[in-house]
Amino acid sequence: MKLKDNWTLTELGDDYVAVPVQGGADTFSGVVHLNETGKDIWEGISDGLTEDEIAGRLVCLYEDLDTIRALDAVKKVIGMLKDGGLLED
């Protein structure tokens, strides 16, 4: 899985938004809002990590987060990105 090249992540206040660039707006109109955890998941995907590796990274970053909840968050964000057409296999 990897992020499509025509998307970039930008910080906007306390949130992060993924916006289409270089023709990405041809297939998607709008932006994708992410919180801090969503940004961390985005970066894990960008780094080529698996779902389990991203969840492990989240557990290290957030001391109150266990592996099961981290993996659930990763799956939800990846599902949202897939539904939005931001990921390719």
pLDDT tens digits, 23-38:
544 555 567 899 999 9
Which comes out higher in pLDDT, residue 15 or 60?
A: 60
The highest-confidence range among 11-20, 27-36, 54-63, 80-89, by mean pLDDT, is 54-63
59: left (phi over 0), alpha (psi -120 to 50) or beta: alpha
Look at the pTM and tell me if it is higher than 0.85. Answer: yes
pLDDT at 37: 95
pLDDT tens digits, 31-61:
789 999 999 999 999 999 999 999 999 999 9
Q: Where are the domains of the chain?
A: 2-88
Residue 25 is given by DSSP the state G
Kindly state the tokens that stand for 24: 């990405």
